[in-house]
Amino acid sequence: MGFFKQVEGEAAIVVIKGVYKQVDLYERDGFLYAKTAGGFVRLMADGSTTKDRMRLDHMSWNGALCRDGMGRLCTSEASGAKSLEAPKAQLLLGAPD
């Protein structure tokens, strides 16, 4: 297990109880997290998070997005990573159809 490392140049917009907030993205062992006031929140491939009443609205990412068998958002370096389907990646990245 490694430590959280900030992914330079990448950010996300999360919605917490209806309030939009821009946050930095972090990586740990190939899995992606959002930095929040109290720590780090795991991001899921369907846009949900591990924090109650918080969801991922949009993110910037340079590279391939993947998911593991439990639906956790990750890079191709994570154990069990499978490429995220293009339509799902477009929803997270806000890319045009």
Segment 48-54 shows an average pLDDT of 97
Grade residue 94 by pLDDT with cuts at 50, 70 and 90: confident
Q: CB count, 10 Å around CB of 86?
A: 11
Q: What is the pTM of this model?
A: 0.92
Cα–Cα distance for residue pair 85/36, rounded to 1 Å:
27
